[in-house]
Structure 1
């Protein structure tokens, strides 16, 4: 089975190339990518397992839908007081905490280190911990808990140290 990081690398390579269609098969898993249709289809070699379809981030037009009201609404100071954004490395569902009963990993005003976990993005039933990748202070959260996020979509704004 391909790892999420391997799939991400394949998507990035195809996205940056002039290839319109790509098929890769290994260890009983087949990945087909077609830019012109805007989808990535992963099919296990065994026919009884369900097909997983995932939009290709580079060619899928982003559908703008009104975002629900944010509990951390942007202010004039927060808009001008950040210099880095933590972005989603994949298409998936944003979760602010490890479980619904737990407190969020971070909130506005929290200090983070580069290796601090700031959220989880679930993709293909895998829960991927997202790290800050920068030392600083969280200025603003840009997405709601449970919201679908796109590849490269900003999740947090950070004032780096």
Structure 2
């Protein structure tokens, strides 16, 4: 999952142009994401290889679904090759911080129970993250992010790093631990 988040932050935003404007290409991305088709939306990021690898792991699939399943996106402005998106996502960083605060107690409980500490802790952390991300009371963040695009080889790609975009998409979870 960390690898997919890293790829999302660093990978070029590949959007087939087919004569489309940068704005209409991003509207397609937002439409997929807002409709709950996050796998299609992330594939538009050029991350299909890592996405397939990540989704082979049931826990990673559940986490991605929890993190991106309720994300909303809309194009709020566009001028030439710059598109401003408004991203409404679960605040992944806040949820992860809360879960990690419980990690010590969970590790002690797993160790005291004689369980395989690493696997038990991982399972417990993933379950708590999923519960936190999917809770109706989960903190949300709404961010506006400018994505500068240029056409290369018939596709729209960002002119600069995707860090602000990836951070808005993941609710800051890509910055967790920094």
Q: Report TM bin, short chain.
A: under 0.3
Q: TM-score, normalised by structure 2?
A: 0.24
More helix by share: 2
The two structures have a TM-score, normalised by structure 1, of 0.25
Structure with greater strand percent: 1
